[in-house]
Chains A and B, each alone.
Chain A
């Protein structure tokens, strides 16, 4: 047994209202830069729907993740090591920008400098890639809220349950699926990277791209079946969700979780046996993957596990945290959370509680009591389309675990109604789904009223190093190799040159903003854009104001255009 700790997340889909707050705050925190306009570390998909990038779940087309060879061994679906290298000069299965969308801004300038005319001037959309005028035809959530429209025909998951779909259009259903990187136990992105630049942190399992080692071979984009590696087209490096590691290290939840309006995200540790991962990912029948992955997790209350964890150097407070972990509770104790697409065999570590709402909605429409356990149970058994659809997402098509979870949620709903009405809880309802009233109460507490520190049980990084990680003021935060030197852009374009620790970057950004009169976006060629949320009123970013007399103000900056190889 080799115990390792994994930081993971569970999302309760019934509570997602599809507001995209998580996506926006994540973007503001991490990807509001040139080159990452189309990059959404967190995105929220309406399901059924095509997803982002379009149809990414069709692995016959995109060849992401792992597959079993005839001899029953795990191999990258896009091909083995030799094929991977042989196709390095042009990657065969790389999504193009059209499969995402062409990012754009608007030509706001004309609004201010158009001559007097009969009709009001319009700000036309302009591509952030070419700088030319463009038509907007798609975006990261173009099919938002369009459950039931003809766009759905392209949903690869719907295609799998397809023949029954036509008759089910009368009973359309819809729910939201927020997605981040899965921080897999068996990450195919890392396995596809020829340079070995993608690594899994031994302490908490967060999967990161070493920006100094990435050479832009862009093979990881193909490798990830969830398409959660994005290629920064300005810097030529791969980027991905970082699980907000600087926040996690000091015990704070990720930005998406912190700002989630529905409070539906849970973060915590799970302990797992690293020696069993490969075997678990290799089981023959994809429908067994859910059970085999659950089997990899270790019970943090088991004395053997605790002892082994200590031997493996996992600090005591981390084991405590693993015991209080909401993730462990939802995945293994209550068994209501399910992995997204276990059939990709990457052992994903962001799990989901499937939504009961499609079922409740249907029952409600019939005029029956949608909080009565019997009605809901019957509906779960008869509503094949939503259940099969959920099964294709979460259990490789096996409907049984999905109906099991939905019935637990239905039972909770109906059991708690009695209690909320001041009636005694009916113990036969939890019993019908194999739970005691005590367990039902505990599950309700965790799902419905858990407070901040119960939803996010995040032990700070190991105490001896917390001092450094928290970047406390007791040490000069500029005291690192190289020192705070050259500011802004390096000699080879945006962000080149030696890396800087995070706190220094903040320090420098702040200082820059206080003392300069240009914004970060100034002078970046045709794709110049002003980030209104970051703009602090200083300076005159190009295109924002008309000049004092006549033409718009030129950016006052000497810096070379982005990405120029000028030494």
Chain B
């Protein structure tokens, strides 16, 4: 039994956010390559960044990998290879907790640094603040789900792999299950909703730097040469008057 509200929240909103996410990135890449940067603030301060940034980044990348597993891989597959529910659960919760903790500590350091260092605070934009707020909410509920549901079992053995995950995959395979989200415990709903908001904001924040992760560096030659024809603004010469030999310097 799904209400209109459920359909709006768990079908319309996801597609709208996805559309903004994709077209937003395309638009920004087309019109604002120059603004596409990490906007590093290390020049101003590096003692706190030295700890905060790697903790946060390694943490969030591990969290991301966890999501790929938890959301992307159907339960039937892990069952098929003989991974038992309890082993999977123990693994997910322990690794998830560790990664989540690193992320939260790292992010707290980063936010503390942003607020207390005059130079870094001066370089903080409104969009940075919005992004940190939404990211913070997403991470808070995400960690709460791991602890509240995974460790403390507050939600009656809710198995997100048979709820949230199926709904999430359905968005991409057009098998829509808004009812699964409507039934999910509130913290799971909040985590999902905040995450969709974050995806809609993504292209308009410094988070675009994630898509530039420079893995190609491992293979390319050290020194890059470029000839004129490849350079920006250059084009094939057109027909026209050539300078006479005599006036050449």
Contacts and interface: CB of A to CB of B under 8 A. Distances in A.
A97 B44 contact: yes
A89 B42 CA distance: 10
A91 to B, nearest CB: 6
Size bracket of the B interface? 35 or more
A460 B249 contact: yes
B91 to A, nearest CB: 25
Contact of B222 (A90, A129, A190, A480): A190
Given A194-B214, A199-B225, A463-B242, A130 B118 contact: yes
Contact of A90 (B49, B127, B128, B235): B49
B82 to A, nearest CB: 34
B125 interface: yes
B44 A467 contact: no
Interface residues of A, number: 77
A465 B234 CA distance: 9
Nearest to A66: B222
A491 interface: yes
Contacts of B81: none
B218 A85 contact: yes
Given A212-B232, A218-B42, A233-B123, A565 B33 contact: no
Interface in A473-506: 474-475, 480, 490-493, 495-499, 501
A4 to B, nearest CB: 9
Interface string B50-73: 111110111000000000000000
B144 interface: no
Given A187-B223, A214-B37, A233-B44, A564 B53 contact: no
A174 B18 CA distance: 64
B39 A236 contact: yes
B243 to A, nearest CB: 7
Interface string B225-249: 1111001111101101111000011
B90 interface: no
A195 B214 contact: yes
Interface string B110-147: 00000000110011011110000000000000000000
Contacts of A97: 43-44, 119
B218 A492 contact: no
Contact of B54 (A90, A317, A501): A90
Interface string B204-219: 1110010010111110
Identify which of A81, A85, A88, A235 gathers the most chain B CB atoms within 10 Å of its CB.
Answer: A88
B174 interface: no
Contacts of B215: 85
B32 A215 contact: no
A211 B34 contact: yes
Contact of B217 (A84, A130, A468): A84
Interface of B: 31-46, 49-54, 56-58, 118-119, 122-123, 125-128, 204-206, 209, 212, 214-218, 220, 222-228, 231-235, 237-238, 240-243, 248-249
Interface of A: 81-82, 84-85, 88-92, 94, 96-97, 129-132, 186-187, 190-191, 193-196, 198-203, 210-218, 231, 233-237, 251, 317, 460-468, 474-475, 480, 490-493, 495-499, 501, 525-527, 563-567
